[in-house]
């Protein structure tokens, strides 16, 4: 376990441990071994990183990020940001599960990627994951346009790559997602210096600014996307969605339902974030309280 921890993330180690322990428990029940050697073993806890929990406001999603995403993938980003669906739930979505008239999406399957191969799984990660989620108007509009321009996949998939094949997460991140962040002004900076002259700028992990010059904007954007550390993750669209709902006063049990969580504590612990104006609202809640208690 220690050796694996040196090469893999705590979340990956925990999942490997869970699967191994389940296999060994079965072996104990079948009397193949006397005891489960996993019992009593502690796995490393997942530590929060500075890149965890980035929040993108709904205004920045619509006005900044979506216009910067290539046409083929704009509806995908809109769906994720407007419904909180996970990557696999978005890429595994088929048109039969979308009702653009009623403005709803049914999450009934997911796309699973292992070693570069994408397959479809008929059920989400948990029973609560099978759910119906309302789709906001801006996402409905982009999905409607997407259906008219881009053909469905061989099994009716809503989103495919340029070869009508399944989307692969790593390639999407490098070729679509991070360049879109740069163009949206959410990662580094690209500015025009003159004819055939573009300046790329980004900060490293120590806060030191680096710059480079290129003859095309595309080259400058690609360089920043590759070199700049951190930045918004695709999964942060899900985090932002839940945060937006909670900050607008949507009850936690309703947020839990659309997020596909089995427990409300998961919703509160993972996907909520300090919202703008929190301190002022708390002060206002006690603004009319008397300084001394009534004698009544």
Residue range 89-129, pLDDT digits in tens: 999 999 999 999 999 999 999 998 888 888 888 866 567 78
State the pLDDT at residue 171.
95
**Residue that finishes a domain, picked among 229, 252, 280:** 229
Longest dimension (CA), the chain: 79
**Residue that finishes a domain, picked among 115, 137, 168:** 168
Coil/strand/helix, residue 95: helix
State the pLDDT at residue 182.
98
Cα-based distances in Å from 256 to 139, 215, 253: 21, 49, 5
State the pLDDT at residue 10.
64
State the pLDDT at residue 177.
98
**Token pair listed for 188:** 């580094």
Q: What is the mean pLDDT of residues 6-14?
A: 64
Is 87 found in the same domain as 147? Answer: yes
In terms of pLDDT, which residue wins out, 203 or 13? 203
Identify whether 235 is part of a domain. no
Which DSSP state fits 55? -
Is 153 found in the same domain as 79? Answer: yes
Q: What is the mean pLDDT of residues 194-221?
A: 95
Which residue(s) pair with 234 in the sheet? none
CA dist., res. 172 & res. 178, Å (int): 9
Q: Domain residues for 216? A: 191-229
- Mention every residue, 6+ apart, whose C-beta is less than 8 A from residue 266: 256
Q: What is the mean pLDDT of the chain?
A: 85
Confidence of residue 251 (pLDDT cuts 50, 70, 90): confident
pTM: 0.77
Identify whether 135 is part of a domain. yes
Is 137 found in the same domain as 195? Answer: no
Identify whether 110 is part of a domain. yes
Is 89 found in the same domain as 160? Answer: yes
Identify whether 63 is part of a domain. no
Q: What is the mean pLDDT of residues 195-215?
A: 95
Which residue(s) pair with 211 in the sheet? 201
Identify whether 225 is part of a domain. yes
118: CATH: 1.10.443.10
Overall domain count for the chain: 3
Residues 84/133, Cβ–Cβ less than 8 Å: yes
State the pLDDT at residue 50.
43
**Residue that finishes a domain, picked among 229, 246, 275:** 229
- Mention every residue, 6+ apart, whose C-beta is less than 8 A from residue 80: 87, 90, 234, 237, 238, 241
Identify whether 97 is part of a domain. yes
Phi, psi of 193 (to 5 degrees): -100, -25
CA dist., res. 153 & res. 146, Å (int): 13
Identify whether 181 is part of a domain. no
Statement: residue 246 has pLDDT above 80: yes
CA dist., res. 126 & res. 244, Å (int): 24
Backbone torsion region of residue 207, taken as left when φ is above 0, otherwise alpha when ψ lies between -120 and 50, otherwise beta: left
Identify whether 173 is part of a domain. no
Is 86 found in the same domain as 13? Answer: no
Confidence of residue 51 (pLDDT cuts 50, 70, 90): very low
Statement: residue 265 has pLDDT above 70: no
Is 96 found in the same domain as 19? Answer: no
**pLDDT tens-digit series, residues 129-174:** 889 999 999 999 999 999 999 999 999 999 999 998 999 999 999 9
Is 144 found in the same domain as 87? Answer: yes
Is 120 found in the same domain as 162? Answer: yes
**Token pair listed for 127:** 């029973």
């Amino acid at each position: 376990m220690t050796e694996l921890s040196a090469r893999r993330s705590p979340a990956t180690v925990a999942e490997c441990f869970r699967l191994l322990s389940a296999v060994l428990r079965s072996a104990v029940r079948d009397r193949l071994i006397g005891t489960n050697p996993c019992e009593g073993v502690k796995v490393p806890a997942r530590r929060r990183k500075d890149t965890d929990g980035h929040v993108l406001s709904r205004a920045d999603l619509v006005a900044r990020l979506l216009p910067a995403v290539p046409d083929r993938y704009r509806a995908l980003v809109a769906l994720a940001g407007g419904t909180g669906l996970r990557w696999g739930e978005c890429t595994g979505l088929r048109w039969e599960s979308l009702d653009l008239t009623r403005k709803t999406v049914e999450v009934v399957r997911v796309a699973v990627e292992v070693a570069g191969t994408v397959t479809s799984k008929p059920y989400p990660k948990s029973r609560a994951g099978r759910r119906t989620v309302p789709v906001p108007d801006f996402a409905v509009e982009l999905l409607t346009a997407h259906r008219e321009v881009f053909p469905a996949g061989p099994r009716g998939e809503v989103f495919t790559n340029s070869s009508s094949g399944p989307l692969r997460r790593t390639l999407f991140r490098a070729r679509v997602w991070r360049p879109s962040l740069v163009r949206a002004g959410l990662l580094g900076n690209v500015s025009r210096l003159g004819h055939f002259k573009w300046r790329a700028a980004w900060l490293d992990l120590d806060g030191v600014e680096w710059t480079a010059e290129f003859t095309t904007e595309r080259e400058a954007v690609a360089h920043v996307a590759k070199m700049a550390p951190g930045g918004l993750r695709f999964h942060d669209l899900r985090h932002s969605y839940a945060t937006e709902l909670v900050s607008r006063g949507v009850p936690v049990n309703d947020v839990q339902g659309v997020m596909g969580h089995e427990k409300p504590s998961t919703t509160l612990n993972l996907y909520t974030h300090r919202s703008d104006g929190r301190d002022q609202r708390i002060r206002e809640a006690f603004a009319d309280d008397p300084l001394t208690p009534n004698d009544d």
